[in-house]
Amino acid sequence: MKKTLFFIFISFVTNYDIIGQNISESTISNAETFKNEQITGDVFKHVFSSKILNNTREIFVWVPPDYNSNKKKYPLLIVHDGGGVFYSRGGFGARNKSKSQKVINKNGWNLDETVTELISSNKMEPIIMVGVSNTKNRGFEYVPTRNGINYAKALTEELIPAIKKQYRIKTNDIGTLGASAGGLISLYLGWEFNKTFKKAVCLSPGIIYRDQDYYKELIKTKIPKKLRLAVVNGTDNFDSNLQLGVDKFTGYLEEINFSSKNYLYWIEKNGTHSAKSWSKQSKIILEWMY
């Protein structure tokens, strides 16, 4: 069991994206409509080639229902492990419940359904979400004490500027969301790249895990001036192993009197290190955050 959970932390939602070699320039391909029976709303697929990381991966861009009916700009949410947030690779597809109704049965994060529901009920403002697929280097790119700085630079210097050329984005309203190691890199981006990322959602974040300790580095850095921050951890065996780092970090936030109106934290009773829990937690957080 422990071996399985360790694999989830390092390689959750790994995909078939290719690791490129000798990328000469950073680019994203033109938009391609992405069709999948599990998806709610409009999603466009691009290939992102990063010169900084010297690799290639897919990204999936979800636009809100009113995107084509106006010319306004939208908040942007960058989601890590993005190959599984709008549909489940190898998961269940839609099945017919009746001739007029479909039931979506999938294992992923379901952020497309969640955000569609919250927008339609006026519980959150419309946003654009970009799911950034991981690669086989996930365990290095998502960890600040390893290669996190180059992953951050690839997002801020290459991907986001390219996204802004093809989609209408509010430059001063960019956030990030992730779980496990993705939750850790979300914290890093919001804390140390706050000039770009004003919001950070950190689910089951591995702040301290085995031989890496981001907490020791974080407390040496400058406190971000404007950060809306959400942190959640579960109580299963794996999340329990992450609680030490979460406790130290949340204790530090109390020490520095981090703004309570910009901070949401709870421990989810019976929460697990899984997409099922992260999907539930994301819904509560996105309604609060937007």
Mean pLDDT of 218-227: 96
pLDDT at 179 over 70: yes
The DSSP secondary structure of 133-164, one letter per residue, reads ---TTHHHHT-TTTTHHHHHHIIIIIIHHHHH
d(CA 79, CA 186) in angstroms, rounded, equals 9
223 touches 233 (CB < 8 A): no
- Span between the terminal Cα atoms of the chain, in Å: 37
Q: Which amino acid is at 151?
A: Y
What pLDDT sits at residue 21? 55
pTM of the predicted structure, to 2 decimals: 0.88
What pLDDT sits at residue 96? 35
Q: Return all residues near 12 (Cβ < 8 A) that are at least 6 apart.
A: 81, 134, 138, 179, 180, 181, 182
Mean pLDDT of 107-113: 87
Q: Return all residues near 167 (Cβ < 8 A) that are at least 6 apart.
A: 61, 63, 74, 76, 128
How is the chain split among helix, strand and coil, in percent rounded to 5? Answer: 35, 25, 40
242 pLDDT band, cuts 50/70/90, is very high
Q: Distance of CA 54 to CAs 39, 96, 169, Å? A: 30, 43, 26
d(CA 8, CA 13) in angstroms, rounded, equals 8
* Residue written as token pair 């829990």: 277
pLDDT at 19 over 90: no
Express each pLDDT in 35-49 by its tens digit: 888 899 999 999 999
Q: Residue 155 has which token pair? A: 């997002």
285 pLDDT band, cuts 50/70/90, is very high
What pLDDT sits at residue 100? 45
Q: Distance of CA 102 to CAs 41, 76, 98, Å? A: 14, 29, 7
Mean pLDDT of 120-126: 98
What pLDDT sits at residue 186? 98
Q: Which residues of 249-281 are buried (b: 16+ CB within 10 A; e: fewer)?
A: bbeebeeeeeeeeeebeebbeebbbbbebbbbb
User: Residue 247 class from Cβ within 10 Å (0-12 exposed, 13-18 middle, 19+ buried)?
Assistant: middle
Nearest residue to 280 (alpha-carbon basis) of 108, 130, 69, 149: 108
Q: What is the domain count for the chain?
A: 1
Range of the domain at 247: 2-289
Q: Distance of CA 210 to CAs 214, 241, 242, 289, Å? A: 11, 9, 10, 31
pLDDT at 113 over 70: yes
- Stated as kind and residue range, the H or E segment containing 279 is helix 275-289
Q: Which amino acid is at 177?
A: L
* Residue written as token pair 């390893």: 146
Strand 32-33 versus strand 42-50 pairing type: antiparallel
Q: What is the CATH number of the domain that holds 201?
A: 3.40.50.1820
Q: Residue 99 has which token pair? A: 């001739």
Strand 199-203 versus strand 208-209 pairing type: unpaired
What pLDDT sits at residue 166? 96
pLDDT at 97 over 70: no
